[in-house]
Amino acid sequence: MMTDDMQESVVDFVGRGWWIFPCRPGRKEPVGGRGFHDASDDVETVRQWWDEQPDCNVGLHLGKSGLFALDIEVDEHPWLDKLKIDCTFAQATANGGWHFVFRQPDGWTVPSVPLGQLDGQAEIKGDGGYILLAPSALFGSVAKLGMPTGYKCVTDCEPNEAPDWLLEMIREHLARSHTERMAQRTAQKMQHRETLHGSAESKVDELVGIVRSAAAGTRSNTLISVAASMGRVVGGGYLSHQEAFG
């Protein structure tokens, strides 16, 4: 059976409308075959999971719960001065960092932003991500210095809206990422077209050589065949009509 503390915690999380799932004892990996996609907000399902595996950690599926988390990897960070510990659900992580959990904003969805893209010591766990919740614990190679450590709830309240400065930082990052992806795709298309153009020019040279070397009595048929091949080169967009026949 579940311990009283764990039973109280998982039932409380589901009561908040959060989707949770079991993770391996002392680790972050989900237990189920579908990973964090097995998350449930059904209290009886959750009770059964922890009755069967009472030592499992608790994972929170952020996307299904309508939440995202700011995951700060260190105990001291400049952003902490901008964050009020009592402004939203917050916990100290097992490896000495912080989780601040916020509601997803109206009108758009905050995705996950990997470590290093916003800041070298912080990341966003958003739609498609998850975190562990207290009283989960880590031990072994995944724990800091190899010593067993637990997650501790610092502010136990309903997740609030994220501060404007954080949302704006995420928006700016997403806009930059979109611009960079579009520029990369354009460059790839241009490179691909240049490659195709070079191949097409080689094909044209080959076809011209076939016409020039056609034996007497075969030139009409050769021209018809070459013209058809040239049409496929132009029709495929590898050369313009002017480049092929101009």
* Residue bearing the bigger pLDDT, 210 or 106: 106
Specify which residues 161 forms β-bridges with: 103
Query: What pLDDT score does 44 carry?
Result: 95
Q: Is 3 left (phi over 0), alpha (psi -120 to 50) or beta?
A: beta
* Residue bearing the bigger pLDDT, 29 or 176: 29
Residue in 160, 139, 161 with CA at minimum distance from that of residue 55: 139
Residue 207 has pLDDT above 70, yes or no: no
* Identity of the amino acid at 34: R
Give 240's pLDDT tier (boundaries 50, 70, 90): low
pTM across the whole model: 0.70
Euclidean distance between CA atoms 88 and 157, whole angstroms: 6
Q: For the residues 4-8, what does the mean pLDDT come to?
A: 80
Lowest mean pLDDT among 16-20, 163-167, 218-222: 218-222
Query: What pLDDT score does 132 carry?
Result: 97
Residue 193 has pLDDT above 70, yes or no: no
Euclidean distance between CA atoms 236 and 158, whole angstroms: 58
Give 59's pLDDT tier (boundaries 50, 70, 90): very high
* Residue bearing the bigger pLDDT, 184 or 225: 225
Q: Residues 133-164: pLDDT tens digits? A: 999 999 865 555 555 589 999 999 999 999 99
